[in-house]
């Protein structure tokens, strides 16, 4: 199409501008159920967009579609208009202009050339506001992710303070009870049948102290034990753990396969690492009790670069997807009566050892990978 022919068609577009904009606004009203007042306010916006189209069609100057794309996205957000719905309206606008071109007294070649230029314009505009919309959505997603992260951090800080306060509030009277029980026990003449009751009481006190100590692991504060690192044999730790749970394995007919290779020794706190491993094995047993037969636990130990990876796997039911993402959060449990602090404690212990823990639950196997510096 020659420059002269293009000038004539541009002139026709300009002459028809009020009618075209009126038809576009009517389409907008039907698509988004706007009031007459809304349409009046939008007239200026669509008039500027039409002028932008004329400038593109005439090819008189370079145009910045990026700025127009930003304006369209801001327009959609300000009016809470759905992106997909606007894209449908956008195509309707293209059809309005195409129908107008078809009615003009120009040659078929000029019509085809005009429609091709017009379609190219709409394609560029669609590309511009789609890119801007994706960028905006990504920014919004990052903001929301940061907000969620901040909330999680605040929640962990609150939980840390609560666990410290809760543990100390229990530990102090518990220590007093333990002392008075020992005084009473010393006053009883030996041998005495009442001594057995003191054994029960002391056993319960010890178990309660252990529960209090575990609650303290939920705290992100380090205590004196966290700095008392020694060399720990992970092989011996694993063998002892398997021996500890062997009666349960036998009782519930669970097949255990401990795949230990070379002797692996790391620096850490043995009691804490033992507790972390115990929690993973106990979780595996609890999961396997939900199936009738063919119960298996696999414990593996591998060195990967400068880390050692301990894997505890079971072929019990998979972890539901709805809680898998938050499985290490406190008070999240797959068990009906579970407290939901076992994996949270394990995670805290591992992180205090500068390690990490991951969960994989797909198909018939659920695996927990415990990674520690080696």
Same domain, 260 and 125: no
Same domain, 240 and 315: yes
Backbone angles phi, psi at 362, to 5 degrees: -140, 145
Same domain, 204 and 230: no
Find the CATH number of the domain harbouring 95.
Answer: 1.10.490.70
Same domain, 297 and 187: no
The pLDDT score that the predictor gives to residue 192 is 63
| Structure tokens that stand for 31 in this block | 């698509």
Question: Is 148 within the bounds of a domain?
Answer: no
Same domain, 200 and 234: no
Q: How many domains does the structure of the chain reveal?
A: 3
Same domain, 203 and 304: no
Asked if residues 47 and 21 have their Cβ atoms less than 8 Å apart, the reply is yes
In terms of Cα–Cα distance, which of 41, 43, 21, 39 is closest to 93? 21
Backbone angles phi, psi at 40, to 5 degrees: -60, -40
Same domain, 341 and 213: no
How many residues belong to the chain?
A: 374
Round to whole Å and give the CA distance between 228 and 282.
26
The pLDDT score that the predictor gives to residue 297 is 95
| Structure tokens that stand for 140 in this block | 């919004």
Of 172, 191, 222, which residue sits at a domain end? 222
Find the CATH number of the domain harbouring 203.
Answer: 1.10.287
Same domain, 214 and 320: no
Asked if residues 68 and 53 have their Cβ atoms less than 8 Å apart, the reply is no
Same domain, 46 and 92: yes
Of 170, 196, 222, which residue sits at a domain end? 222
Same domain, 34 and 107: yes
Quote the domain boundaries for residue 284.
Answer: 225-373
Q: What's the pTM?
A: 0.53
Round to whole Å and give the CA distance between 258 and 204.
32
Same domain, 38 and 162: no
How far the first Cα of the chain sits from its last, in Å, is 73
Of 178, 203, 222, which residue sits at a domain end? 222
pLDDT tens digits, the chain, 374 residues: what are they?
Answer: 667 677 888 888 899 999 999 999 999 988 888 888 888 888 888 998 899 988 888 886 778 888 888 888 888 888 888 888 888 898 999 999 999 999 888 888 888 999 998 899 999 988 998 888 888 888 888 888 888 778 777 776 776 666 667 666 777 787 888 887 888 877 776 666 767 777 888 888 887 877 777 776 766 666 656 667 889 999 999 999 999 999 999 999 999 999 887 889 999 999 899 999 999 999 999 999 988 889 999 999 998 888 999 999 999 988 888 888 888 887 777 766 566 778 888 998 898 899 999 999 888 899 999 999 98
Helix residue spans in the chain (DSSP H): 3-15, 17-32, 36-58, 65-78, 83-102, 108-187, 195-216, 234-251, 270-288, 321-324, 342-352
The pLDDT score that the predictor gives to residue 80 is 85
Round to whole Å and give the CA distance between 221 and 352.
9
The CA–CA distances, whole Å, from 108 to 9, 38, 101, 118, 226 equal 13, 38, 10, 15, 83
Residue showing tokens 């500027």: 48
């Amino acid at each position: 199409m020659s420059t002269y022919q293009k000038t004539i068609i541009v002139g026709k577009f300009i002459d028809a501008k009020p009618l075209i904009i009126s038809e576009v606004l009517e389409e907008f009203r039907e698509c988004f159920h706007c009031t007459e007042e809304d349409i009046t306010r939008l007239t200026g916006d669509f008039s500027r967009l039409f002028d932008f189209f004329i400038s593109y069609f005439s090819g008189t100057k370079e145009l910045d579609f990026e700025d127009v794309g930003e304006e369209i996205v801001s327009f959609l957000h300000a009016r809470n208009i759905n992106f997909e719905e606007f894209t449908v309206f956008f195509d309707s606008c293209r059809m309005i202009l195409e129908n107008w071109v078809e009615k003009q007294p120009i040659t078929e070649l000029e019509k085809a050339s005009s429609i091709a230029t017009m379609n190219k314009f709409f394609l560029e505009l669609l590309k511009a506001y789609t890119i801007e919309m994706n960028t905006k959505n990504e920014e919004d997603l990052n903001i929301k992710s940061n907000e969620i992260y901040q909330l999680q951090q605040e929640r962990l800080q609150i939980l840390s303070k609560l666990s410290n306060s809760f543990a100390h509030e229990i530990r102090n009277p518990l220590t007093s009870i333990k002392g008075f029980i020992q005084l009473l026990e010393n006053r009883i003449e030996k041998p005495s049948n009442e001594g057995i009751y003191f054994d029960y009481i002391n056993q319960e006190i010890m178990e309660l102290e252990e529960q209090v100590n575990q609650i303290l692991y939920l705290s992100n504060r380090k205590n004196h034990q966290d700095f008392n690192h020694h060399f720990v044999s992970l092989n011996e730790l694993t063998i002892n753990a398997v021996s500890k749970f062997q009666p349960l394995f036998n009782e519930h007919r669970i097949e255990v396969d401990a795949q230990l290779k070379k002797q692996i020794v790391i620096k850490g706190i043995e009691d804490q690492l033992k507790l972390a491993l115990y929690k993973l094995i106990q979780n595996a047993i609890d999961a396997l009790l939900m199936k009738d037969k063919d119960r298996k636990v696999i414990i593996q130990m591998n060195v990967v670069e400068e880390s050692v990876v301990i894997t505890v796997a079971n072929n019990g039911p998979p972890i539901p997807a709805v809680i898998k993402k938050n499985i290490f959060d406190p008070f999240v449990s797959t068990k009906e009566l579970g407290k939901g602090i076992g994996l949270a404690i394990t995670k805290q212990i591992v992180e205090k050892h500068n390690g990490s823990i991951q969960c994989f639950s797909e198909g018939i196997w659920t695996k927990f990978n415990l990674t520690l510096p080696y």
